[in-house]
Amino acid sequence: NAGVTQTPKFQVLKTGQSMTLQCAQDMNHEYMSWYRQDPGMGLRLIHYSVGAGITDQGEVPNGYNVSRSTTEDFPLRLLSAAPSQTSVYFCASSYEAGVGNEQFFGPGTRLTVL
């Protein structure tokens, strides 16, 4: 049981490049989400999904796309990277969002955009 896995652990991009951050979970969780963590800002929700085929925006969705074709995977796409997207990105999952469900986090991806 690997829990929530994220790849890559580190990434450096140039402005304008695109890339996909991978997130997978093996706990059959319905709810998955992406956060970014910046100094002094805490964790902010980017996008979330309540099940395969269903996604919605969080607090800071601009510049990011997501899709959820399977229960296990929830990739985050940066369409055209900007220096403001330099951050640490965390993926999380829970059995479902709502009453009494614990969130589990991946180890994070540290992204630098030059």
Instruction: By CB under 8 A, name the binding residues for other proteins.
Output: 31, 33, 35, 40-45, 48, 50, 56, 58-59, 90, 92, 97-108
By beta-carbon proximity to other proteins, the closer residue of 14 and 100 is 100
Closest separation in Å from C-beta 16 to other proteins:
28
Q: Give long-range contacts, CB 8 A cutoff, 24+ apart: 63-68.
A: 64/34, 66/34, 68/32
Residue type, 7: T
Task: Determine what percent of the chain falls in helix, strand and coil, rounding each to the nearest 5.
Answer: 5, 50, 45
Nearest residue (CB) to other proteins, 58 versus 75? 58
CB of 42 to other proteins, least distance (A): 4
- Contact call for residues 41 and 27 (beta carbons, < 8 A): no
Q: How far is the CB of 19 from other proteins (least distance, A)?
A: 20
Taking a C-beta distance cutoff of 8 angstroms, is the pair 81, 19 a contact? yes
- With respect to other proteins, which residue has the nearer C-beta, 64 or 108? 108
Considering the complex, what minimum distance in angstroms separates the CB of residue 101 from other proteins? 7
